[in-house]
Amino acid sequence: MNPDITIMIPAHNVEKFIEECVGSAINQTYKGSFEIVIVNDGSTDRTGKKLETLQRQTPNKIHLIHQSNQGVSATRNTLLQESKGTFVLGLDSDDKLSSNAVEKVFYTFMQNPRTEFVYSDHVKIGRDGTPLKKVRKAKEHKIFDDLILHKHFPGHVRAFKRSSIETHLFNPSLKNAEDYDFLLQLLLNNWPHMNRVVAHIPELLYFYRFNPEGISQTQTREMRYNAKTALERRLKEHAIYRNRKVEIAPIYAIGSNGGEYRPIGGWDHIVEGIGSILDKKKVSRKHFNPKLANSN
């Protein structure tokens, strides 16, 4: 019999955090069946050895796969292919779950058979695990259908009904923003009422480790470009604007210091060169970056 939930962990050179990550996946309060599938993507540090030790300690819970380094998207695809759960939950290898995350996610799916995607609030933590910020999403969820095409705000925890994503894969050409592209694949099949298949859990179920030194400016620019390209492609595939010409433009605001004008992590849609779809929908810029979006 297949497990209720699969926790999917892609791992690459995370020897400092992998034991804490996997430990949080093992020590769940959920009493039903769940598995942990881990793909070691060609790590060159002690990640692989540590994972083998963890598997020996919990052989009935962990399914470990070693592969040559193929990148994050290919690794996530391997995880999807190897997972057997009715629902699948993603956990990055330097992050961790709350002890009740699987329980909350499973029962949220069970409350509504139409639900295909579940996400929760999360805590941003430092490299040493110190809590930095609680990220709440209840206000954003109220305008989900409008906001999701302008910003990848669901973040973590992210879980999917497996039967809804069997034909979907992560784009192997993307080194980042692959999760936004994957989510758009699923959600736009339900446009314009995407929120009908989405559920938000207003609880802190995920601890996202923030490493300000881990992403270079070049990677940040690449991530923005990939997110923009993915959004453009998915909007065109689903003819959201009925094949009219659409420009996807970054949203800017003056920084809190009063002199810095920079992108604030979202995308506006300019249709046929006229007007702002964002303004027409009355989606406040506070949903993008409250500290920077002080120009409105």
Place of tokens 């689903």: 238
* pLDDT digits 0-9 by tens, 176-198: 899 999 999 999 999 889 999 99
| 174/73 Cα distance (integer angstroms) | 7
**261: Cα separation from own chain's centroid:** 27
User: Using the 8-state DSSP alphabet, how is residue 295 labeled?
Assistant: -
Return the domain boundaries, the chain: 5-209, 241-296
Q: Does the pLDDT of residue 294 top 50, yes or no?
A: no
- Read off the pLDDT of each residue in 158-163 and give the average, rounded to a whole number: 97
Task: Please give the model's pTM, rounded to 2 decimal places.
Answer: 0.92
pLDDT grade for 287, boundaries at 50, 70 and 90: confident
**β partners of residue 121:** 204
Tell me the CA distances in angstroms from 197 to 42, 66, 192, 211, one per residue in order. 36, 34, 11, 32
User: What is the Cα gyration radius of the chain?
Assistant: 19
Dump pLDDT digits (tens) for 76-116.
Answer: 999 999 999 999 999 999 999 999 999 999 999 999 999 99
Under 8 Å between Cβ of 188 and 194? yes
The residue among 60, 64, 32 whose CA lies nearest residue 51 is 64
3-state SS record for 193-204: CHHHHEEEEEEE
Q: What is the pLDDT of residues 239-263, one digit of tens each?
A: 998 888 899 988 877 665 555 667 7
Q: CA–CA separation, 290 vs 146, rounded Å?
A: 18
Calculate ∠ Cα 195-197-199, nearest 5°.
75
Strand partners, 37: 8, 63
pLDDT given at position 254: 61
At 221 the pLDDT is 82
CA–CA gap between residue 192 and residue 240 (Å, rounded): 9
Phi, psi of 35 (to 5 degrees): -125, 160
Q: Domain 5-209: which CATH class?
A: alpha beta
What's the pLDDT at 295?
43
